[in-house]
């Protein structure tokens, strides 16, 4: 049975493909601009704004499972409407669908957010992700919507590259001491997504790490792991900046974790190991 990874050339998509290939699972992946360099996968160009192309790719591939790991940022046609087009096609062709969402659907006004909390986004990106969640589950109630947080892993994430550039003085900016998230390791996240795809899961699930950390705390852990001088990392307050968006969003993943074999490690654990 074939799996289809939407957004396979991205950071999470590449890890999903790697794990599927390691399990001997035939895999097809899509890209928006250029294919990834991952071996043992067939590539298809896909523009999520084109409903006919979305249906054609799924009809051609006939996947048993579709995991949507694409990212269109605040582009409404891609981020909000694209996943709904996928859900319509997945339901039509009888494919399982796991749609990856974000903690950006929340405002940060609560102490923590579990799967029962309703979205209250405060940015265009968050609004697009929240609209996608609603649309996907409306047209395909059997789908899984998996919310996650900052994705870290092996020095390849944007967050890890930012820390290296700040420590080297080649990038301007600061790491906020009041901007709180629950980082997750990319291998844990991908494994958990495949677990949800393989079982009779449906509806909202949270897949974030067990530790709530500030951007600066996360940066210091990355720096120490990589032998960098954490004292060189500039600090600041998100509250003093003009950046839109929530300051503290703590995803509570305990209900989903109880269903999984995969452990969603906290950053304090995976950044002090060799993972």
Residue-level pLDDT, tens digit, the chain, 275 residues: 899 999 999 999 999 999 999 999 999 999 998 888 877 899 999 999 999 999 999 999 999 999 999 988 889 999 999 999 999 999 999 999 999 999 999 999 999 999 999 999 999 999 999 999 999 999 999 999 999 999 999 899 999 999 999 999 999 999 999 999 999 999 999 999 999 999 989 999 999 999 999 999 999 999 999 999 999 999 999 999 989 999 999 999 999 999 999 999 999 999 996 54
Residues near 221 by beta carbon (within 8 Å), at least 6 away in sequence? 213, 267, 268, 271, 272
Say how far apart CA 256 and CA 79 lie, in whole Å: 24
Relative to beta strand 213-214, strand 180-181 is antiparallel
pTM of the model: 0.96
Q: Which of 24, 22, 57 is nearest to 43 (CA)?
A: 57
Tell the residue number behind the tokens 């601009």, with chain if given: 33
The encoded tokens of residue 5 equal 């990874």
Say how far apart CA 149 and CA 164 lie, in whole Å: 20
The torsion angles phi and psi of 133, rounded to 5 degrees, stand at: -55, -50
């Amino acid at each position: 049975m074939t799996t289809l990874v939407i957004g396979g050339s991205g950071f999470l998509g590449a890890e999903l493909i790697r794990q599927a290939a390691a399990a001997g699972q035939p895999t097809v992946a899509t890209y928006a601009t250029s294919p990834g360099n991952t071996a043992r996968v067939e590539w298809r160009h896909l523009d999520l704004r084109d409903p006919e192309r979305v249906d054609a790719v799924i009809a051609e591939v006939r996947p048993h499972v579709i995991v949507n790991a694409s990212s269109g940022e605040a582009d409404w046609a891609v981020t909000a409407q694209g996943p709904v087009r996928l859900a319509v096609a997945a339901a039509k062709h009888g494919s399982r669908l796991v749609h990856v969402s974000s903690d950006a659907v929340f405002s940060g006004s609560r102490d923590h957010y579990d799967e029962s909390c309703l979205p209250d986004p405060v940015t265009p990106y968050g609004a697009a992700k929240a609209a996608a969640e609603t649309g996907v589950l409306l047209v395909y109630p059997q789908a899984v919507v998996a919310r996650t947080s900052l994705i870290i892993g092996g020095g390849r994430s944007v967050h890890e590259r930012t820390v290296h550039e700040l420590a080297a003085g080649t990038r301007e900016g600061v790491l906020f001491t009041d901007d709180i998230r629950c980082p997750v390791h990319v291998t844990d996240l991908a494994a958990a997504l495949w677990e949800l795809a393989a079982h009779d899961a449906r509806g909202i699930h949270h897949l974030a790490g067990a530790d709530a950390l500030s951007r600066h705390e996360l940066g210091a852990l990355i720096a120490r792991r990589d032998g960098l001088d954490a004292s060189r990392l500039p600090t600041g307050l998100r509250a003093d900046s003009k950046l839109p968006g929530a300051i503290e969003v703590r995803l509570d993943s305990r209900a989903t974790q109880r269903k999984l074999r995969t452990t969603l490690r906290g950053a304090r654990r995976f950044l002090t190991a060799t993972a």
